[in-house]
Amino acid sequence: MTRYVYDFTEGDASQSSLLGGKGANLAEMTNLGLPVPPGFTITTEACRVYLETGRQPPELTGEVDEHLARLEEAMGRTLGQADDPLLVSVRSGAKFSMPGMMETVLNIGLNDESVEGLAKISGSARFAWDSYRRLLSMFGTTVLGVDRSLFDEALDVLKESKQAESDVDLAEDDLRELVSTYKQLVSDHNGEPFPQDPRDQLDQAVLAVFSSWNADRAKIYRQQERIPDDLGTAVNICSMVFGNLGDDCGTGVCFTRDPATGQQGVYGDYLPNAQGEDVVAGLRNTLPLSALGDRDPHSYDELLQIMETLERHYKDMCDIEFTVERGKLWMLQTRVGKRTAGAAFRIAAQLVDEGVIDLDEALRRVTGAQLANLMFPQFVKSGARDLIATGMAASPGAAVGKAAFDSATAVAWAAKGEDVILVRRETNPDDLRGMIAASGVLTSRGGKTSHAAVVARGMGRTCVVGVEALRVDLKKREFRTPQGVTITEGDLLSIDGTTGEVFAGPVSVTASPVVEALLAPAPPKSGSHVKRFDDSEHRDLVAAVRRLMDHADQTRRMGVRANADAPEDAQRARDFGAEGIGLCRTEHMFLGSRRRLVERVILAHTAAERNAALQELLPLQRADFLGIFEAMDGLPVVVRLLDPPLHEFLPDLTELSVRVAVAEALQEPDEQAATLLKEVQRHHEQNPMLGMRGVRLGLVVPGLFLLQVRAIAEAAAELKKRGLDPRPEIMVPLVADVRELAIIRAQAEEKIAQVAEEEGTALRFPIGTMIELPRAAMTAHQIASEAEFFSFGTNDMTQTTWGFSRDDVESEFFPQYIDAGIFAVSPFETLDTAGVGRIVSVAAWEGKETRSDLVLGVCGEHGGDPASIHFFETILLDYVSCSPFRVPVARLEAARAVLAAADGEAETS
């Protein structure tokens, strides 16, 4: 029989799939003997039943009754008891942290009767009515669907009428008045009064938390973080402890290390006379954690000891929520803390130095996405900069964009390709779409543990919070500073998430100093495009990144090559540690002024005309290869022969038709244009991407591929005479049948032998093919007999497998497909392992069956995607190839993929 409820004393941290991260860690802290308020957890399995059937499991009510009775017995009072009520919180908690994306309701059990009992037993009527108004607003918003802004507006109106700076300045009678206002809001919206039965409150709150798993913001967050939709959330019912009982109470969030920088020390926010949601919501600007030490040294010292205990136990930086109730410290939550990219690398290296983890585990703690984030530029520190305010540096980076004062505007502008800074007093979970769309986030309230800070850090978004000097007016859509500066919506802003500085107008950016750590171990060759930095401010970060990257290179099995078409791109790739070129696209070399020569080759009526054009192209193409082969001296360069559709080299059909028609209308016939139009019409294709391109072009247009093969061979021969070691490989594109490859291979080998004899030097180049069509994959066992390597072109493979035209579908209907759950992410971004991945796997295995020494690589965009790289490791490809900028990411993820595969084997053994 399935069990749906567990006491905090019954679980542990390993049960996050069942109890959610929050419930599992509450249980773990209870097991460690830390001060955790008693409570119990409803499992994720119960949530999944509710989401699938629309009803909670039949057994759940009885199990909750049983555990609630145990809690009441332990606490010596009952839920909502009139004279001395037991109050509980109802909080979500999924397996993976989703900060602020699901619901929380505090003070369950308060009603018109028990609020008086709470006032009497606590000795503070103000506290009791403050707690009741919080319940009404949370329950009204979360459970009953009342617009949150209605409660916020009512509070603001009351504060203004009472000339109160903050809600803590409101007196008991003010809060009684606010409770009446809130109750009326609930009644007006719901058609019936706020529920007075405590158990009814509890049951409704639990179902609301279950439902919040499918709230829009939760679904968007899961898409962003690639969290599966079928996990569900647990629900934690915990006895309330109160930080809002008076000035000797408070609540806070702390980190065992700085989540923004990774530096060791004591970091966090504290709010006296407040409940936990006040800190996270950023409604009041917080005090530093050290303020607790000044107010309550005993609780502060105990908290420091617990922080040390938890970091030592979890072997990682911990994020901790706590409350102090009249001198008694309570732990409300802990989890491995979200951190910025820089902090992730620093902390991983620190923990290695401290002997807490080894280098393999350090690699598990950092990601390719974080590494890419570290490569982003930062602001130039010199020159004119109009500094208008400074706040808390919550998430590093340099962001420049137009000020947008709500999420809808940020999303709309970003969709038009504009950079946006989302400006808010404080963010809440409903701002998630805007935060994703924006380049940076700026708030006038909140601290480093506010919603804006936590979510921005998790997404790698630049963020500055708690800029108290800003007076944000959402109605006028502007903010003002004490110096008289006004920024209105649409004005350009620059924010520095590393320093907390806010600038009016754009600020110039420069390359990240962390780029130095991503260079290949050897000094860059002459002409390198990557600058080496000597920046003491970032020296520890540079050292941490280099150390982990060195270990990644020692750990990974797959090679990492780059996609590069020009010498400068090739050099940049080599600087970043590429071990060769996995895709050199030659079609880019034939655009611009050379396009006319290719047009002559295609439209030639005689062999002499064609050969003349080819001879003009030969020295140009040879020079292209000389530069690339020299930049990659000693490393392989896979040259893809011409692949683009025929029409890309011919005059535009529409423009040419108009030209001829206008000439005829003016009775000034253009015979040359008319003749050309007939040729272009003859070659016109309805679906050029599936027409005359790739190997078909080489077979039908005599001499075109052989021109390229000769240029490759002559360039290699020249460099060998100079004492260099060129290693070209020739890739034939769009092969669907082994005979296509066999014909081109034979012609190429004959041409290479001819050049070798002419140049008096030995030349031999591997010849292979790009596997990008399903038929090629399904006949890989045949094609491998003629190919020395396969390079999987997963971009075209995705198009031809799904039947998608990438340029059309991504903007046309992919958003609807993602919303409908047809796929979680674009299959052009992350490989579709169930479909395209299976095809690649079959082709790789069958190719190896035919030719055991067949080299297997991938050269589509997926070669730089972390999730796809992990899949390629499982099917034992030999290398991935990606853009030069993504090479460091691929190096890191290839190593992490090895460790993940080993972890999976260990779990199943």
Alpha helices in 404-563 (DSSP H): 407-415, 432-437, 451-459, 539-555
pLDDT of residue 188: 93
DSSP-assigned states of every residue in 102-121: S-EEEEET--TTHHHHHHHH
Q: What is the total residue count of the chain?
A: 909
Mind giving me the DSSP string for 469-509?
T-EEETTTTEEE-TTS-EEETT-EEEEETTT-EEEES---E
Closest CA to 771 of 797, 746, 745: 797
Q: Which residue has the higher pLDDT, 110 or 373?
A: 110
Active site residue 859: yes
> Mean pLDDT score of the chain, rounded to an integer?
89
Cα–Cα distance measured from residue 706 to residue 607, given in angstroms and rounded to the nearest whole number: 14
Q: What pLDDT score was predicted for residue 818?
A: 78
- Cβ neighbour number for residue 214 with a 10 Å cutoff: 14
Kindly give, in sequence order, each residue whose CB lies less than 8 Å from that of residue 352, ignoring residues fewer than 6 positions away: 358, 359, 362, 547
User: For the chain, what percentages of helix, strand and coil (3-state, to nearest 5) are there?
Assistant: 50, 15, 35
Residue 77 has a pLDDT of 94
* Cβ-based neighbour number of residue 522 at 10 Å: 9
pLDDT at 528: 40
- Identity at 856, one-letter amino acid code: L
pLDDT bin (cut points 50, 70, 90) of residue 378 is: confident
Arithmetic mean of pLDDT, 306-334:
95
The token duo for 860 is: 């589509």
Report pTM. 0.79
- Residue 481 confidence (pLDDT) above 80: yes
Specify whether the backbone of 444 is left (phi greater than 0), alpha (psi in -120 to 50) or beta.
Answer: alpha
Give the separation between CA 327 and CA 297, rounded to whole angstroms: 9
- Confidence at 321, pLDDT banded by 50, 70, 90: very high
Side-chain half-sphere CA neighbours of 436 within 13 A: 18
Least confident of 11-25, 430-444, 783-797: 430-444
The predicted-structure confidence for 683-702, as pLDDT tens digits, reads as follows: 666 676 676 688 998 898 88
Give the mean pLDDT of 474-491.
Answer: 93
Q: Which of 547, 562, 474 is nearest to 517 (CA)?
A: 547
- From its phi and psi, is residue 339 left (phi > 0), alpha (psi between -120 and 50) or beta? beta
Q: How far is CA 197 from the centre of its chain?
A: 44
- Please give the C-alpha separations between residue 421 and each of 392, 411, 424, 434, 879, in angstroms, as whole numbers: 16, 11, 10, 9, 39
pLDDT for 449 equals: 58
State the pLDDT at residue 544.
Answer: 94
Number of H helices and E strands in the chain, helices first, is 35, 31
pLDDT score, position 532? 44
Encode pLDDT of 811-829 as tens digits.
Answer: 678 778 877 778 878 888 8
Question: SS3 for 179?
Answer: helix
More confident residue, 662 or 414: 414
Whether the pLDDT of residue 119 is over 50: the answer is yes
Residue 74 · residue 256 · CB < 8 Å: no
C-alpha to C-alpha distance for 183 and 192, rounded to whole angstroms = 10
Q: Are strands 478-480 and 471-473 parallel, antiparallel or unpaired?
A: antiparallel
DSSP assigned state of 837? I
- Is 702 strand, coil or helix? coil
Least confident of 219-233, 315-329, 334-348, 624-638: 219-233
Range with the poorest average pLDDT among 306-320, 513-527, 712-726: 513-527
876 conformational bin, left if phi > 0, alpha if psi -120 to 50, beta if neither: left
In the prediction, which pLDDT does 531 show?
Answer: 42
- Report the pLDDT averaged over residues 228-252: 92
> With left for phi above 0 and alpha for psi between -120 and 50, is residue 28 left, alpha or beta?
alpha
Q: Does residue 209 surpass a pLDDT of 80?
A: yes
Query: How confident is the model over 404-411, as a mean pLDDT?
Result: 94
Residue type, 307: M
Confidence at residue 527, expressed as pLDDT on a 0 to 100 scale: 42
Residue 588 bears catalytic tag: no
| The pLDDT value given to residue 525 | 42
CA distances (Å), 621 to each of 588, 594, 597, 707, 726, in order?
11, 10, 12, 8, 16
The mean pLDDT of 434-455, rounded to a whole number, is 82
The burial of 843, by beta-carbon neighbours within 10 Å (0-12 exposed, 13-18 middle, 19 or more buried), is given as: buried
904 membership: H or E segment, kind and range: helix 887-908
Residue 750 CB partners (closer than 8 Å, separation 6+): none
Q: Which helix (H) or strand (E) holds 718?
A: helix 704-721
From the candidates 254, 463, 859, 882, give the one annotated as an active-site residue: 859
Which is the catalytic residue, given 67, 318, 451, 870? Answer: 451
Q: With pLDDT > 70 as the criterion, what percentage of the chain qualifies?
A: 92
The pLDDT of residue 810: 67
Task: Say what the pLDDT of residue 655 is.
Answer: 76
Q: How confident is the model at residue 392 (pLDDT cuts 50, 70, 90)?
A: confident
| Sheet arrangement for strand 88-94 | 5-7, 39-42, 233-239, 88-94, 104-108
Residue 471 CA: distances (Å) to CA of 268, 424, 428, 468, 477: 25, 10, 18, 8, 11
Q: List, for residues 564-612, the tens digit of each pLDDT value.
A: 888 988 998 999 999 999 999 887 677 666 667 666 767 777 888 878 8
pLDDT digits (tens, 9 = 90+) for 507-565: 988 777 777 667 655 444 444 434 444 455 678 898 999 999 999 999 999 999 999 88
576-590, 671-685, 831-845 — most confident range: 831-845
